[in-house]
Every structure is written in structure tokens, then in C-alpha cells.
Amino acid sequence: MNLSFKKDGSAPFFENPVRDKNHVDHLRIPDPFESNDYLMHAIRLVKNTLSADKPLIGFTGSPWTLAAFMTEGEITKNLEVAKALLYREPELLMQLLNKITEAVKLYVEAQIIAGANIIQIFDSLAGHLSKHDFLQYSLPYISDVVKYIKLKYGTRIPVIVFARGASHSIMEIQQIGSDVISIDWTLSIKEAMALTGNTITLQGNLDPVVLLASQPRIAGKVRELMLEAIELKGFIFNLGHGILATTPEANVRYLVDYVHERSTMLKLE
């Protein structure tokens, strides 16, 4: 979209963050097969190595989360620039969100064409918004992407929506037509099931920090979570957000093996 970024240390940053109308006007919607050809190539390579029973999940940030990064320029604590834009120039923010939404549609479709079987939309910065602002400046744009995928691919491509820190709007998220709602660890599975009426598949929601604990402690937390989810219509075990860089690899392997073991036991029971 005409934004260049660099990596200095551990995190990338935009050299020319979006700060005014002129910049928004000059953002272009790229062809993902040109701008992200390396990713599409990687998807094809991975897809070719997977067995038929292993789906490949495509990924995108939500329009709001992407807009926040594009205006801030880097990861920040309070999103002061992005939220100031929301309050000072909401029309300009919506213009930016509309452009990003169109780019996201093409981006996820390119991943599907390249071989992705599922699309997950991450609104990692949803928790910076009040419920009112989330429902105005984030969820409608996520909904637009979901509708685009469903209109073109129907049930063939399931869609997962994850909005970190937006458990206050889980019932509204349920209405946008995704197949799965992924939740963070601040909302229990039982609470999510009650709020959604147990009518949609839930994904989650182990706190990623649990993986820094001992393996017996990991096993205990996994058991608690899976027993809580046993009555769900559909459930996908996952973390409640991204895995931490400091997580021991041995604990990740242990978690995966233990979840498979417990899943088998619960089916037998």
C-alpha cells in the first residue's frame, strides 16, 4: 500500500506512517500476488507437504489493527496516534479502514487461491477500543471481509474471527457470519458458551504465559479448559493469543501431545 518498513531489533516499524488525508489518498491497494509473492509461494510449498487431512490456515490482521499499526508506525502501548485520529478525524479513519478492508479481501483471497483452507482474522488491538468504538470502527470492517469470503467460497472456506479484549461484544461478533469465534483467556469457555447460546464453534483460550510454567502445571490448566469445553457444540483448542518468544520448545511439544491425548480420552469417555 506504498508503505515501507524496516526491522530494527525485534520489531518492524513503518518508515512513513500514515498521518494525514494526503497520505491516505495516495495509499494503493496492491495485487497480493505481486506484493506478497513470497508468502503465496510459501503457502504452496507448505500445502504440498501436508497430508489431505491437515488444513492450512491463512492469516490476516483486521482492518482496525492494521490501521493502528499504519498510523502509529510501530507497536505502542496506548495507540495515541491511532485513537487521536479516531476522535479528531473519524471520517479520515473510516476512509483508511475502507481502503485497508479492500486490500485485506484481496490478500485473504490470494491465500485461498494459493492453498489456504481456512482464514483467521486477528483483531489483536480490539481491546484498545470501547465497546461503542469497536462496534463502529472495527467489527463492521471485519464483517465486510467475512461476507466477501462467504459470498465467494461459501462453506468451503471456514472463517475464524479473533478480537482480543473484545469479549464485551462476543454476541455481536457471533452475528457477522464467521464459523468460529476465537477468544482470549479473559473470558472463560463457560461464559462464552452461555453468551453465544452454544450455537457456534469456539476456539481458545489458554493463557500463553501458562507455557512458561512446569509441564505438570500446563497439564492441569489444559485439563481444566478441556473439561469446561466438553459440552460445546464445537471446540478448537488453542492459545488465547500468540505464543511468546520465550516459550520453551519442549513445552510446546508437550502441550500438543497432551491435547491430542486428552482429546482421545474424552472421546472414549
Tell me how crowded residue 18 is: count the other CB atoms within 10 A of its CB. 28
Strands (E), the chain: 5-8, 11-14, 57-61, 118-123, 159-163, 180-182, 201-206, 235-239
- For the chain, how far is it from start to end, CA to CA, in angstroms? 52
8 Å CB contact between 40 and 110: yes
- Domain 5-182 belongs to what architecture? Alpha-Beta Barrel (3.20)
Reading the chain (269 residues) residue by residue, the pLDDT tens digits are 878 777 776 677 788 899 999 999 999 999 999 999 999 999 999 999 999 999 999 999 999 999 999 999 888 889 999 999 999 999 999 999 999 999 999 999 999 999 999 999 999 999 999 999 999 999 999 999 999 999 999 999 999 999 999 999 999 999 999 999 999 999 999 999 999 999 999 999 999 999 999 999 999 999 999 999 999 989 999 999 999 999 999 999 999 999 999 888 766 44
Q: Where are the domains of the chain?
A: 5-182
